[in-house]
Structures are given as C-alpha cells and as structure tokens.
C-alpha cells in the first residue's frame, strides 16, 4: 500500500517550487515583517504571481486548477518558513476561494474567482465579539430593501482584513430563525459604509493582519448573496471543515521548522568538548519531536486525501487540527530548550515559532471544539 506521505511526481515538483520560493523570497523578510506586524506588499505581489492564491481555482477562471491537497502542501511549505504568511494564503484558498467556487453563481464566479487568483485578497468575516466558538450567535444584521440588502454590524478578529478587496460577510436576515437566518454576502471593500478598523497587536503570526470590520448601513444587491438566503450556516460549516485541514498543515509545518532549527543547532553547538546533539538527552528530545511531527503529517495528509476523494473527512479534519496544534506548541517549546538561553532571544527563529504556535489551538475552532466534533462522530 502506498504510504499516505508519499507524493506523486507532480506533487513533489509542486512542493519543491513552493519550498524554493519560501526559502528565497520569504525567509529574508520574516524578522522585519514580524517586528513591523505587516505583510510585505512586494512579497504579496510575488505570491499572486506564483499562482499561490488560486491553487484549486479552475483554469477557466484564471486559477491553477490544482487539488485541495496541493493547497495543503503549499501551506505546509510556506509555514515552515513563516506561519504568518501561510495563514494569509490558507484563508484565501481553503475558505474564500472554496466558498465562492462551491456556492457562487456563474456570475459570481466570473466576477470574483479570476481576481482572487490574480490580485485580490479575500477575507472571511464570521467572528464577532459574542460569536467565537458559538459562531452562529452573531448579531450582524441584513435587512431586505428594494433590490438588495442593508448590512449593519461589527466583525472582530478578521484575518486578511487589512489587505482584502472582498469580504465574505455572514449576517442574519431574521434573528428569530436562529442559525437558519444566517446568510453569506459578498461585499466589496469599496462599498459605502464598510470600514476596516483597529488592527490587533498580536502575540504571534504578527505579519498576518487581524482587524475589526465595521458595516454601517452597507447596501449590497440581491446578486451579492452567496448560495441561498438562510444557508449561510451551511457555507460556513462546510468551508471551515476544510479550513481546519489547512490550519493543521500550518501547525505541522511550524513544528517541522522548529525541529529543523533545533537539529541544526544541536549539530554545531558544543559543550563539554562535543556537539550537544551527541548527548542522549538531546537526542531523545529530537526523536520524540520527530515522531509527533510524523503522526501529525499522517493525520493532515489523510484528511486532505479524503476530502479530494469526495469521502467523509470532518472527523479526520478535526483530529488533524487538534493534534497538529498541540504538537506545534510542544515542539516549538522543546526547540527553545535545545537552543538554551539564546533560544529565548529574538536572535534565533525558534522564539517566533513558539509565539506563532499558540494561535493554532484557538482559531478556526478551538481545541475543545475539535474534541466536540470528534466525540460526536464517535457517538453516532
């Protein structure tokens, strides 16, 4: 049987292209982007030019026509160098593009998919102050008027908001209907009444923008509804299930990057007359990290392969995100310990990876929410 982690020749070639790009174009900018808490605009243009923002957008719309698994590979390679860059690309591919591709009308696909693949960043505006894990407790409203809708509300913790040209805004058309009133709207950034507010000053993934988005009597036409009125909850659930695999890949790669740095340092750092990597205590630490990373990779790849095969993958996606986010934090922590005192400084990259890891257990479904999903499937 072919191992889950074995790649086809085409997948290997694609992975190598992304890996070279990440190491040559992203790596030199990582520290500065982290300190400035801003994604480099020139780098973003290069990411678009490489086609990374439209991996499984069909070729007829100007995308790469690739697979979901290729998106996961790309996220993995980018995150091994900078998780902050990877999450920008992750949200674009696994959430925004997927939602438009799967739920959009022919006219919506024609209008947006080409732009999303070539020069327009997308943002997924679901979360609110009172709607985090309870995602459908949102209060942003959509009021029907002649020819369209008027949106009012405030979204928080919205990834890519600073750069986005398109927002997928989830609002309720009738609060009395509960989740059945939730509807997804495609809202252009230049829409009158839409403003991007405060950018969060975050612990990690600092180059990735996370902002509030305010909607003050924003009018959109009837053609802005993505899918059907009242079916926004379905759009959200189905895309977030796929997004969890992307976050799992991000966290897997973060752990791999931390281990790679730790192994390199263990080979060259000398104490008591020999490299610290020659000591069994350090070897055991590195070995345990390698086992955890391989287990996470199997979970992530399995979930992505199932999704591409059209098979049930929701439980596997939850497992992948849950486990990968745990081992990312653990491996990054132990990598700092291998480095010793210098690992606690900003001079070495493991300090940043440790900060970046924490969000993995929180966004796109907390670890507790993943446990709930896994348990529900077990009890069916």
Residues marked active site are found at 364
Alpha carbon of 97 to those of 24, 108, 135, 168, 295: distances in Å?
26, 11, 20, 10, 29
Six-digit token string for 324: 């990968």
Report yes or no: 80 and 15 within 8 Å, Cβ to Cβ.
no
Q: What distance in Å separates the CA atoms of residue 251 and residue 83, rounded to the nearest whole number?
A: 8
Among 198, 185, 97, residue whose Cα is nearest residue 156: 198
């Amino acid at each position: 049987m072919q191992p889950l982690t074995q790649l086809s020749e085409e997948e290997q070639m694609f992975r190598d292209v992304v890996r070279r790009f990440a190491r040559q174009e992203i790596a030199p900018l990582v520290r500065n982007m982290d300190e400035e808490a801003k994604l480099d605009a020139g780098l973003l243009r290069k990411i678009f030019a490489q086609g990374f923002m439209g991996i499984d957008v069909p070729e007829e719309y100007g995308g790469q026509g690739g697979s979901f698994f290729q998106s996961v590979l790309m996220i993995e390679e980018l995150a091994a160098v900078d998780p902050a860059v990877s999450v920008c690309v992750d949200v674009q591919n696994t959430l925004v593009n997927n939602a438009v591709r799967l739920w959009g009308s022919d006219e919506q696909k024609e209008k947006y998919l080409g732009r999303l693949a070539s020069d327009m960043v997308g943002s997924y505006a679901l979360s609110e102050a009172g709607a985090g894990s309870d995602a459908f407790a949102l209060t942003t409203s959509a009021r029907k008027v002649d020819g369209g809708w008027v949106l009012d509300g405030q979204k928080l913790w919205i990834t890519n908001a600073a750069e986005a040209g398109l927002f997928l805004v989830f609002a309720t058309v009738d609060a009395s209907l509960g989740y059945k009133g939730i509807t997804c709207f495609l809202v252009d950034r230049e829409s009158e009444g839409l403003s991007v507010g405060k950018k969060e000053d975050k612990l990690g993934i600092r180059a990735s923008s996370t902002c509030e988005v305010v909607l003050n009597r924003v009018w959109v036409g009837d053609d802005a509804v993505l899918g059907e009125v009242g079916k926004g909850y379905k759009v959200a659930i189905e895309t977030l299930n796929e997004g969890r695999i992307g976050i799992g890949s991000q966290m897997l790669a973060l752990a791999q990057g931390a281990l790679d740095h730790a192994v390199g340092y263990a080979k060259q750092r000398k104490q008591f007359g020999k490299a610290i990597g020659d000591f069994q205590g350090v070897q055991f630490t590195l070995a345990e990290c390698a086992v955890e990373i391989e287990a996470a990779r199997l979970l992530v790849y399995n979930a992505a392969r199932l999704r591409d095969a059209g098979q049930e993958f929701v439980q596997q996606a939850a497992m992948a995100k849950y486990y990968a986010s745990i081992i990312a934090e653990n491996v990054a922590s132990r990598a700092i310990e291998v480095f010793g005192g210098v690992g606690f400084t900003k001079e070495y990259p493991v300090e940043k990876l440790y900060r970046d890891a924490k969000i993995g257990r929180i966004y796109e479904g907390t670890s507790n929410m993943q446990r709930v999903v896994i348990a529900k499937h077990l009890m069916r």
